[in-house]
Structure 1
Amino acid sequence: MSLNKKQIQYLKGVAHSLKPIVLLGSNGLTEAVIAEIDYALNHHELIKVKIPTDDREVKGLIVDAICRETEATKVQLIGKTLVIYRQSEEKKIHIPKL
């Protein structure tokens, strides 16, 4: 799903008050973590994921893998916190059109 600038700004505002739902552990990005992120996206649509690494390249690879595997859209990455969005069938979050 492709989001325009206004939609991304709206989702950033909605995500501001959210707490991270999924935290990556010392094992990194495993199939179980991907499954948990997928489940959380189905339930919440917009979630925060905590990525405990300071290496920018590793963090970028993890973010790309999460978005690819879950078919989610990256909204924002600040520090160690990733915000991703994937619309569910129930469409719980109504984002503006344009």
Structure 2
Amino acid sequence: MELRGKQKSYLRSKAHHLTPIFQIGKGGLNEQIVRQVGEALEKRELIKINLLQNTDETVEIVATEMEQELNCLVVQIIGRVLVLYKPSSQEKYRRISTTIPR
């Protein structure tokens, strides 16, 4: 799944007003966090993740790991904040994926 420039721009504008719902701290990235992020993506389609100052993880490593584990897309990285997108597999949760420009 690839996004074109217009689509990424649209998703960035939608994510601008979101607050990060996950924080990765000194415990680092583990299986439980990845599973919870996957569940949140299924219901929200677009989320932000914040990496705290006390984590040993880098934003690039977390982004790569999330893309591989969850088959999602990293829309944007700003500082220590990631924006992730994955279209929901359930029809009732598809809000953002139905409005993305073609």
Query: Structure 2 regions of 5+ residues with no counterpart?
Result: none
Q: What is the deviation of 1:66? A: 1.1
Alignment TM-score, normalising by the size of structure 1: 0.90
Following superposition, which runs of at least 4 residues in structure 1 exceed 6 angstroms of deviation? none
Matches of 1:64 and 1:13, distance apart in 2: 22
Q: Counterpart in 2 of 1:63?
A: 63
Alignment of 1:47-58 (within 5 A): 47-53=47-53, 58=58
1:34 equivalent to 2:34? Answer: yes
1:44-98, Cα deviation, whole Å (9 max, x unpaired): 000000122599x83211110011111100100001100010000222212110x
Identity of aligned residues (%): 36
Matches of 1:6 and 1:54, distance apart in 2: 35
Q: Count the aligned residue pairs.
A: 96
RMSD (CA atoms): 1.8
